[in-house]
Amino acid sequence: MTFSRPAVVGAGLIGGSVALRLRAQGLDVVVVDPDPATLEAAAAAGLRTAEVVPADRDVVVLAAPLHVIVRALAAVAADAPDAVIVDVGSVKGTVRDAVVAQGLEARWVGAHPMAGTELSGFAHADAGLLVGASWGVTRGDGPVADVVRWLVDVFAATVVVLDADAHDRSVALVSHAPHVLANALLEVVETAGDPAAAQLAAGSFRDGTRVAGRDPLRTRNMLADNAAALGPVLDDLVALLQRYRRDLDDPVALAERLARVTTAADVVRRPEPAWQAAADLDAALAAPGVLLVRAGPTGLETSR
Amino acid sequence: MTFSRPAVVGAGLIGGSVALRLRAQGLDVVVVDPDPATLEAAAAAGLRTAEVVPADRDVVVLAAPLHVIVRALAAVAADAPDAVIVDVGSVKGTVRDAVVAQGLEARWVGAHPMAGTELSGFAHADAGLLVGASWGVTRGDGPVADVVRWLVDVFAATVVVLDADAHDRSVALVSHAPHVLANALLEVVETAGDPAAAQLAAGSFRDGTRVAGRDPLRTRNMLADNAAALGPVLDDLVALLQRYRRDLDDPVALAERLARVTTAADVVRRPEPAWQAAADLDAALAAPGVLLVRAGPTGLETSR
């Protein structure tokens, strides 16, 4: 393991799941959380807890709302002076800016596990929640290769290495926009006040609203924190829905549009990278662009 | 059973699933389909097939695209002169209009099983697909009570009885709008041409696009056939997304909106009707408004 003495700051759904996985992998993990009840729950689950990050930690996983991450950076950096700081927030540009402003570039790597549930809090944390997921990891001056190896080792991650701003644009598309659509759909149905609608709702409505109406502050933070990247995506969606609206009266155009989506679906849903053995991870990371990393049968594999 | 000699016209995903369930329930079902390959597949699955609806049928389930249903009404009515005609199309106003124009009101009941998959065709038909689903059933001059009893008996249906136009407004909200959103989301991501996005996509994108990019003609028909009801819903969604767009810079408004959705979620997702024994189904059906019907432990139950 690249890191063997981790701390996790913030033991909600994601931080708690990270901590439980680290312990399950045999690592000496310490959990820090400002909420006494959360700390108590973590201790009851057998996790070692502390009020502040112990000085001997070699990595600190920051798993808190973005505004908390940004404010906690300096204290965490001071409390564990030798630790690499890995935040797992859903937006990276803001964290990168705060890290740079505080001169912590060489100690920080941004990471974002693309997993979760519509639930929140340590009570729903699960050692398996993040295992096998895709993780976005930001390129930068920190020890990116070490963090990538650690995530692959600990979480069987498929890591997507990219610039912080590119990350934020990507997750606006595949995570934040879906959350807006889900909430908007639920609100439109509720506003219609149509009792039969709820009784007739089936799979497309259930799936289309699964992430809606959950933990509003968490969702609010996620959307507002990524406003710069999400705004243009919402503009595109509005334009496209207006197009659908017009094409309801133009069956040929509507069929053409839906047929194009059918073709696109395979490209978007099942991208198959060309994996190859990672002869030199550092060299691969040094090149610009998106780099994928995963564990292959004989070691790390990469693909662009 | 209210009906014991059914025919199913159109053996795609839905019609095939209806036919397989009817046979599994021991009914003497005949399958009619214009496509020889489909008929052959149905026969290979052990179903009795025919070129036209036999004259002895007491019910004909019409499971075809809407424009085919509308054109097939007259022939089916003539071929099986004693049969009740039950179409299972996803839009009811258009069928009702065609039925009235052809003077078939007394023989027709519209039904719409709220189940399905993103797949299509007889190859994916399944005797269990429609069992336990909600079924919309249209109020009208046909033998509504008989059809409701039959659907409850055969499919363990929870039946939602309502006017054809009310049905179309409800499914625009909970079925057709979700299909538009799913396709729009998939198209926006594909158009962005962002290779990292697909690699980072997880649950919210997968669920939000599950019904997208499938059988474009089926989806086109479903949306265009219900344009009158779907258009205003799309207008509402556009207005709401524009509101989200503005509120990205207004965290308080965004949090308030999302909190309202949280409150709405329970109402919309888990409506709990007050069920009661159906002393007189015909009388209950005679009253206007939405009526729910299901099988209870001691017989039919209804609820408004």
Write a three-state SS string for B254-270.
HHHHHHHHHHHHHHHHC
Predicted pLDDT at A120: 84
Q: How far is B97 from chain A (nearest CA, A)?
A: 19
Chain A contact present for B233, CB below 8 A: yes
- The 3-class SS string of chain A reads CCCCCEEEECCCHHHHHHHHHHHHCCCCCEEECCCHHHHHHHHHCCCEEECCCCCCCCEEEECCCHHHHHHHHHHHHHHCCCCEEEECCCCCHHHHHHHHHCCCHHHEEEEEECCCCCCCCHHHCCCCCCCCCEEEEECCCCCHHHHHHHHHHHHCCEEEEECHHHHHHHHHHHHHHHHHHHHHHHHHHHHHCCHHHHHHCCHHHHHHCCCCCCCHHHHHHHHHHCHHHHHHHHHHHHHHHHHHHHHCCCHHHHHHHHHHHHHHHHHHHCCCCCCEECCCHHHHHHCCCCEEEEEECCEEEEEC
Question: What CA–CA distance (Å, rounded) separates A161 from A289?
Answer: 8
Question: What CA–CA distance (Å, rounded) separates A13 from A33?
Answer: 12
Question: What CA–CA distance (Å, rounded) separates A253 from A302?
Answer: 41
- Please answer yes or no on whether A217 and B255 come within 8 Å at the CB atom: yes
Grade residue B270 by pLDDT with cuts at 50, 70 and 90: low
Helix (H) / strand (E) element for B293: namely strand B291-296
From A263, which residue of chain B is nearest by alpha-carbon distance? B213
Chain B contact present for A262, CB below 8 A: yes
Residue A193 burial by Cβ neighbours in a 10 Å radius (0-12, 13-18, 19+): exposed
Q: How far is B185 from chain A (nearest CA, A)?
A: 7
- Please answer yes or no on whether A238 and B242 come within 8 Å at the CB atom: yes
Instruction: Give residue-wise pLDDT tens across range A219-235.
Output: 999 999 999 999 999 99
Q: How far is A294 from chain B (nearest CA, A)?
A: 12
% of chain B surpassing 90 pLDDT? 86
- Please answer yes or no on whether A235 and B244 come within 8 Å at the CB atom: no
- Please answer yes or no on whether A199 and B271 come within 8 Å at the CB atom: yes
> What is the model's pTM?
0.91
From A192, which residue of chain B is nearest by alpha-carbon distance? B173
Chain B contact present for A170, CB below 8 A: yes
Q: Write the residue in A116, A174, A195 that is nearest to B189 by C-beta.
A: A174
Question: What CA–CA distance (Å, rounded) separates A2 from B33?
Answer: 63
Q: Write the residue in A199, A214, A255 that is nearest to B262 by C-beta.
A: A214
Residue A9 has phi, psi (to 5 degrees) of -105, 115
* B171 chain-A contacts, CB cut-off 8 A: 197, 200
| Contact map slice: B 85-114 vs A, CB within 8 A | 112, 114
Q: Write the residue in B158, B200, B290 that is nearest to A160 by C-beta.
A: B200
% of chain A surpassing 70 pLDDT? 99
A263 pLDDT above the threshold of 90: no
- Please answer yes or no on whether B170 and A194 come within 8 Å at the CB atom: yes
* B212 chain-A contacts, CB cut-off 8 A: 261, 265
- Please answer yes or no on whether B238 and A235 come within 8 Å at the CB atom: no
Would you state the structure tokens that stand for residue B147, as one six-digit string?
């059809």
Mean of per-residue pLDDT scores for chain B? 94
- Please answer yes or no on whether B236 and A198 come within 8 Å at the CB atom: no
Instruction: Give residue-wise pLDDT tens across range A185-209.
Output: 999 999 999 989 999 998 899 999 9
- Please answer yes or no on whether A189 and B174 come within 8 Å at the CB atom: yes
Residue B297 per-residue DSSP state: T
CA end-to-end span of chain B, whole Å? 25
* Average of per-residue pLDDT across A269-283: 86
3-state SS class at B96: helix
Predicted pLDDT at B264: 82
| CA distances for A206 relative to A211, B7, B190, B270, B277, angstroms | 10, 32, 24, 11, 29
Q: How far is A48 from chain B (nearest CA, A)?
A: 31
Pick the CATH number of A168-269 from 1.20.150.20, 3.40.30.10, 1.10.3660.10, 3.40.50.200: 1.10.3660.10
* A185 chain-B contacts, CB cut-off 8 A: 177-178, 181, 237
- Please answer yes or no on whether B223 and A248 come within 8 Å at the CB atom: yes
Q: Give CA B293 to chain center in angstroms.
A: 16
Chain A contact present for B204, CB below 8 A: yes
- Please answer yes or no on whether A224 and B254 come within 8 Å at the CB atom: yes
Instruction: Give residue-wise pLDDT tens across range A97-142.
Output: 999 999 999 999 999 999 877 778 999 999 999 999 999 999 999 9
- Please answer yes or no on whether B204 and A182 come within 8 Å at the CB atom: yes
Instruction: Give residue-wise pLDDT tens across range B105-122.
Output: 999 999 999 987 777 899
Chain B contact present for A234, CB below 8 A: yes
Phi-psi region of A159 (alpha: psi -120 to 50; beta: other; left: phi over 0): beta
Length of chain A: 304
Q: Where are the domains of chain B?
A: 6-162+274-303, 168-269
A170 pLDDT above the threshold of 80: yes
Strands B6-9 and A158-162: unpaired
Question: What CA–CA distance (Å, rounded) separates A78 from B125?
Answer: 62
Predicted pLDDT at B273: 86
Chain B contact present for A253, CB below 8 A: no
Angle, CA of B264, B267 and B273, to the nearest 5°:
170
Instruction: Give residue-wise pLDDT tens across range B207-227.
Output: 999 999 888 988 999 999 999
- Please answer yes or no on whether B203 and A116 come within 8 Å at the CB atom: yes
Predicted pLDDT at B281: 93
- To the question of domain B6-162+274-303 being in CATH 3.40.50.720, the answer is yes
Chain A contact present for B131, CB below 8 A: no
From B270, which residue of chain A is nearest by alpha-carbon distance? A198
Chain A contact present for B167, CB below 8 A: yes
* Average of per-residue pLDDT across A131-160: 97
A277 pLDDT above the threshold of 70: yes
Residue B175 per-residue DSSP state: I
B1 pLDDT above the threshold of 90: no
User: Mutate which of B205, B250, B275 to disrupt the A interface (most A C-beta within 10 Å)?
Assistant: B205
% of chain A surpassing 90 pLDDT? 86
- Please answer yes or no on whether B292 and A199 come within 8 Å at the CB atom: yes
Residue B288 burial by Cβ neighbours in a 10 Å radius (0-12, 13-18, 19+): exposed
Furthest-apart CA pair in chain A: how many Å?
67
Predicted pLDDT at A124: 94
Residue B174 per-residue DSSP state: I
Q: How many residue pairs from chains A and B have C-beta atoms closer than 8 A?
A: 343
Q: Write the residue in B182, B214, B223 that is nearest to A208 by C-beta.
A: B182
- Please answer yes or no on whether B169 and A194 come within 8 Å at the CB atom: yes
Strands B84-87 and A291-296: unpaired
Q: How far is B208 from chain A (nearest CA, A)?
A: 5
CA end-to-end span of chain A, whole Å? 25
Chain B contact present for A193, CB below 8 A: no
| CA distances for A231 relative to A175, A228, A262, angstroms | 13, 6, 26
Q: How far is B222 from chain A (nearest CA, A)?
A: 10
* Average of per-residue pLDDT across B35-47: 97
ipTM: 0.91
